[in-house]
Amino acid sequence: MDYLFARSYDGPRYIGHNPLQQWTYTGVYVLFTTMVVTGLALYALYEPRHWFYRWFMPLNDLIGIPYVRLVHLAGMWCFIIFAMIHVYLSILSGNVDRDGTISSMFSGGRWLRKGVKFRDE
């Protein structure tokens, strides 16, 4: 809830990603894999005789073409929503924590304050 109201607190600090971020990125990798598989299954409808696309045709037969398209469309919206939330939270974190998170994308370095205990050290 603190993310929504831009509040800061002395919670645990992490040098890398916190556990919620780690689970989220794992979900994004699963979503990316799902998007690739469903995209190739949909493209296989246009060239079903090619040897490569025959591997993906069973997905269309298993769950049906409309559901493959629905999963692909839902994945697209999940990516769009994730991108918007990701940009917002990145800028928010850079402004609230003042640790150079955003500038580290360009400079490669991040500021770590003295005396702060990190949980992932």
Q: Please determine, for residue 26, whether its predicted confidence score (pLDDT) is greater than 70.
A: yes
| Opening angle at CA 85, ends 119 and 90, nearest 5 | 45
Rounded percentage of the chain residues whose pLDDT exceeds 90: 45
**Distance (Å, whole) CA 83 – CA 71:** 18
pLDDT recorded at residue 48: 79
From 42, 39, 35, select the one nearest 64 (Cα to Cα). 42
- 108 CB neighbour count, 10 Å cutoff: 7
Supply the mean pLDDT for the chain.
84
Q: In this predicted structure, what is the pLDDT of residue 67? A: 97
pTM of this structure: 0.75
Q: Which residues pair with 13 in a beta bridge?
A: 118
What angle do the packed helices 19-43 and 65-97 form, to 10 degrees? 150
The three-class DSSP label of residue 7 is coil
* Least-confidence region, from 22-26, 58-62, 63-67, 90-94: 90-94
pLDDT mean over 74-85: 96
